[in-house]
C-alpha cells in the first residue's frame, strides 16, 4: 500500500497545477492511523478559493488508495512563499511563471511602499532581466502581472508574502 503521506504530497494545486501541495508548502502534516488519515493544510491567502478543491482532491485521492481521510486547517504559522520548494520554483519557471523572491520580514511597524514594489524579476520566457510590473494583482490572489520589455511577452510572478 502506498503511504498516505506520498499520496497527499502528490495532489496538485488546482490554480497552479505544476505545483504539488507539498511543493507549494500548504501540506503541513499527514497523520495515518491504519486506514484513517488526518491531513493538515494551511491556506495561502485568507480568501483562497482553492482550499475547498484541495480538500476534496485530498479526500478523493486518499479514498482511491483505500484511506478514509479528514482534512483539517492550520492557520498558524501563516503560509509564506518561502515555503515553496526548490522543485516547485523550478516547475514554476518551466511553466512560464516567475518564482517569488524572499518574503519580506519586518521588525516593528510595516513600512509603507509608495513606489511599485522593486523586485529583480527575470522573464521566464527569454531570460531577460528587463521586466516591468503591469499590476500587483493578477488572476489569482498569489500572483502579480509583469511584462518583459525585451520579448514583450506578459507573464505572471508569484508574489512574496
Return the residue of 53, 96, 101, 147 that touches other proteins, per CB under 8 A: 53
Q: Which stretch binds other proteins (CB under 8 A): 1-9, 114-122, 123-131, 150-158?
A: 114-122
Q: How many residues does the chain have?
A: 161
Q: What does DSSP say about strands 143-148 and 154-158: parallel, antiparallel, or unpaired? A: antiparallel
- The half-sphere exposure of 155 on its side-chain side, counting CA atoms within 13 A, is 27
Interaction of residue 55 with other proteins, rule CB under 8 A = yes
Interaction of residue 154 with other proteins, rule CB under 8 A = no
Return the residue of 5, 9, 18, 32 that touches other proteins, per CB under 8 A: 18
Nearer to other proteins, 57 or 98 (CB): 57
Long-range contacts of residues 88-92, Cβ cutoff 8 Å, at least 24 apart: 88/19, 88/20, 88/23, 88/24, 88/25, 91/18, 91/19, 91/23, 92/16, 92/18, 92/19, 92/124, 92/158
Return the residue of 9, 32, 65, 141 that touches other proteins, per CB under 8 A: 141
Interaction of residue 48 with other proteins, rule CB under 8 A = yes
Nearer to other proteins, 9 or 18 (CB): 18
Applying CB under 8 A, the site for other proteins has a residue count of 49
Q: Which residues bind other proteins (CB under 8 A)?
A: 12, 14, 17-18, 38, 40, 43, 45-49, 51-53, 55-57, 60-61, 64, 70-79, 109-110, 112-117, 134-139, 141, 145, 159, 161
Amino acid at each position: 500500500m502506498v503511504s498516505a503521506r506520498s499520496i497527499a504530497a502528490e495532489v496538485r494545486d488546482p490554480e497552479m497545477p505544476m505545483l504539488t501541495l507539498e511543493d507549494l508548502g500548504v501540506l503541513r502534516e499527514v497523520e495515518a492511523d491504519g486506514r484513517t488519515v488526518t491531513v493538515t493544510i494551511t491556506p495561502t491567502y485568507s480568501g483562497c478559493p482553492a482550499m475547498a478543491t484541495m480538500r476534496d482532491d485530498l479526500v478523493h485521492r486518499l479514498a482511491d488508495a483505500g484511506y478514509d481521510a479528514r482534512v483539517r486547517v492550520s492557520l498558524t504559522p501563516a503560509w509564506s512563499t518561502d515555503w515553496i520548494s526548490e522543485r516547485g520554483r523550478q516547475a514554476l519557471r518551466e511553466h512560464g511563471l516567475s518564482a517569488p523572491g524572499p518574503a519580506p520580514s519586518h521588525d516593528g511597524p510595516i513600512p509603507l511602499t509608495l513606489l511599485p514594489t522593486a523586485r529583480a524579476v527575470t522573464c521566464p520566457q527569454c531570460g531577460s532581466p528587463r521586466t516591468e510590473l503591469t499590476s500587483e494583482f493578477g488572476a489569482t490572489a498569489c500572483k502579480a502581472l509583469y511584462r518583459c520589455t525585451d520579448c514583450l511577452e506578459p507573464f505572471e510572478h508569484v508574489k512574496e508574502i
